[in-house]
Chain A
């Protein structure tokens, strides 16, 4: 209802229902109609699918604990309330549909040109309804809602470009709460849009002082609560530390030396290799995590190893996620966030699932092979880069959009870096970096609309 109210108020904001407003209204109506039709089609497609229920991870989503559980409270609240697996799939599909409609509407609002509008609608829905995104709906885990709430958050931020009314600020705050409540890592990264909101609140001329104070207090409260909930999560830090040491750090001789100096038990390395080379009934990081000498080392300070390593190796911390090959003998981007951006989340096994099989491929955003994936990502990044160049006589909206693109880049890369620093082992990189992969594509569409609008303006002048 809040969302519909925002759209309504944006369309009939009391100024003038002139021709442009009418055309903007009809474009947004068209966007919503297409989005609803696609959502219905998507709901129709999931009617017979078998939800993917991972026996190890999925049960924890049904155990609602506000603080101190192994999942964030919002996701466990939603799942434990709905309970039925198929109903969760339908819910995820519906939320995803709403998210992509909002994102599409927010971008369409920025454009005046019908061609750019048509292109934006097509590209956003192509991305939102790509196999990689749609497949997530079938899983009983946090991935689908994570992407949907991220998309809603992005749309809220884009909505705030034209006008920063109280209702839009509330919308940003709500979407931040939704985003922070599904994944533990979001509890930290959400601080970035929350700080942005705080600035927006105090720079806005459209609300009174009391409203500003209330909204600011709620924003600060949300920030504190999300960080608190994040700190209370009993996450898989024990396993992740060993996984990152063994699968990422051990291969570089200097780092290996540092690891040994820090007392990491060498036997844990042998265990990791033994369980990697053969299926011995347990994941390699779990096998190490259960080993007494590793647990002893972990409890005696090893729990802070990753943080200490990052502080003493700033090159790794800042360059590792993007140019990891400079540290290794092999020229290989497999361990970087770029592989996540190029590959997406669908592997051979997941492609065998019903939903992945029936849904058409989308090679515009997700290449079938990895090498083309890297080329694709390079094009997305280049589009974003070019859009940051100076334009002649930019309008206020264009300047704000360019600033938002820079802000979104910062937010997206922070999200990706956090996930890489504390997770993103080679086997999990696609899943961990999927929000980055989606977000990067959305930013490139946003940049493309900015570029095209400017080109059209240049041609006209």
Chain B
């Protein structure tokens, strides 16, 4: 009886130790070192702009004013990510935006054409990150319809995927 008990205890010890090793390797190597994640970045990280969302039908867009804007990235999951933010942008109604600087990269803005700009980022679990965006216009773009905004660029859509 004592021997059976000893063997049972040893079996439990071996099962627990193997499970512990498996979990340790999984958390340390697979997830942390090799940067795998259990959740998809697309389902976990979102971008928020510091201007209101506007709509044409079901399509949303954001008008960013000339000068400095912030894009806030929010991670809803408790996994860290290395991702890429893609923004589809078009010039302002005056077609006078020259360039846009997203963090440390500068993109030239063509007239009447949609382009995609992107920026790599790293975000911590449940963390937030602010990306700086600076729009450089030749001159002000003020419309005569009573809207007092100095238009910079229009963001037609955004997408986040893994780096």
Known interface pairs A382-B16, A382-B20, A388-B9; A369-B80 also in contact (CB < 8 Å) = yes
Judged by a CB distance under 8 angstroms, whether B163 is at the interface is: no
Q: When chains A and B are docked, how far (Å) is the Cα of A379 from the Cα of B39?
A: 23
Contact with B along A380-424 (1 / 0, CB 8 A): 011011101110000000000010001001000000000000000
Judged by a CB distance under 8 angstroms, whether B66 is at the interface is: no
* Interface segment out of the listed A12-20, A29-37, A250-258, A332-340: A332-340
Judged by a CB distance under 8 angstroms, whether B24 is at the interface is: yes
Which residues of the other chain, B, contact A372 by a CB distance below 8 angstroms? Answer: 27, 32
Known interface pairs A331-B30, A338-B23; A348-B76 also in contact (CB < 8 Å) = yes
Contact with B along A306-345 (1 / 0, CB 8 A): 0000000000000000110000000111100011001100
Q: When chains A and B are docked, how far (Å) is the Cα of A319 from the Cα of B24?
A: 18
Judged by a CB distance under 8 angstroms, whether A358 is at the interface is: no
Interchain CB contact under 8 A, A368 and B16: no
Judged by a CB distance under 8 angstroms, whether B124 is at the interface is: yes
Which residues of the other chain, B, contact A333 by a CB distance below 8 angstroms? Answer: 23, 26, 38
Judged by a CB distance under 8 angstroms, whether A9 is at the interface is: no
Judged by a CB distance under 8 angstroms, whether A377 is at the interface is: yes
Which residues of the other chain, A, contact B6 by a CB distance below 8 angstroms? Answer: 390
Known interface pairs A369-B80, A369-B124; A375-B38 also in contact (CB < 8 Å) = no
Number of A-B contacts (CB under 8 A): 91
Judged by a CB distance under 8 angstroms, whether A351 is at the interface is: yes
Judged by a CB distance under 8 angstroms, whether B82 is at the interface is: no
Interface of A is mostly: helix
Interchain CB contact under 8 A, A382 and B80: no
Contact with A along B11-52 (1 / 0, CB 8 A): 011001101111110111011100010110000000000000
Judged by a CB distance under 8 angstroms, whether A100 is at the interface is: no
Q: When chains A and B are docked, how far (Å) is the Cα of A364 from the Cα of B76?
A: 22
Q: When chains A and B are docked, how far (Å) is the Cα of A96 from the Cα of B54?
A: 48
Judged by a CB distance under 8 angstroms, whether B120 is at the interface is: no
Judged by a CB distance under 8 angstroms, whether A371 is at the interface is: yes
Judged by a CB distance under 8 angstroms, whether B126 is at the interface is: yes
User: Among A369, A379, A390, which residue has its beta carbon within 8 angstroms of that of B79?
Assistant: A369
Interchain CB contact under 8 A, A374 and B26: yes
Which residues of the other chain, B, contact A384 by a CB distance below 8 angstroms? Answer: 16
> From residue B143, how far is it (CB to closest CB) to chain A in Å?
35
Judged by a CB distance under 8 angstroms, whether B77 is at the interface is: yes
Known interface pairs A378-B23, A385-B20; A370-B13 also in contact (CB < 8 Å) = no
Interchain CB contact under 8 A, A375 and B16: no
Q: Which of B74-128 contact A (CB under 8 A)?
A: 76-80, 124-126
Interchain CB contact under 8 A, B20 and A371: no
Interchain CB contact under 8 A, A375 and B27: yes
User: Among A338, A368, A373, A406, which residue has its beta carbon within 8 angstroms of that of B9?
Assistant: A406
- Max chain B C-beta neighbours (<10 A), residue from A332, A374, A390: A374
**Which residue on A lies nearest to B38, using beta carbons?**
A334
> From residue A37, how far is it (CB to closest CB) to chain B in Å?
31
**Which residue on A lies nearest to B21, using beta carbons?**
A378
Interchain CB contact under 8 A, B9 and A379: no
Interchain CB contact under 8 A, A374 and B20: no
A-B complex: 10 closest residue pairs judged by Cβ atoms: A374-B27, A371-B31, A385-B16, A369-B125, A378-B23, A378-B24, A375-B27, A381-B20, A382-B20, A334-B38
Give 11 pairs: A residue, B residue, CB < 8 Å, sorted on A.
A339-B38, A370-B125, A371-B79, A374-B23, A375-B28, A378-B19, A378-B22, A381-B19, A385-B12, A389-B13, A409-B12
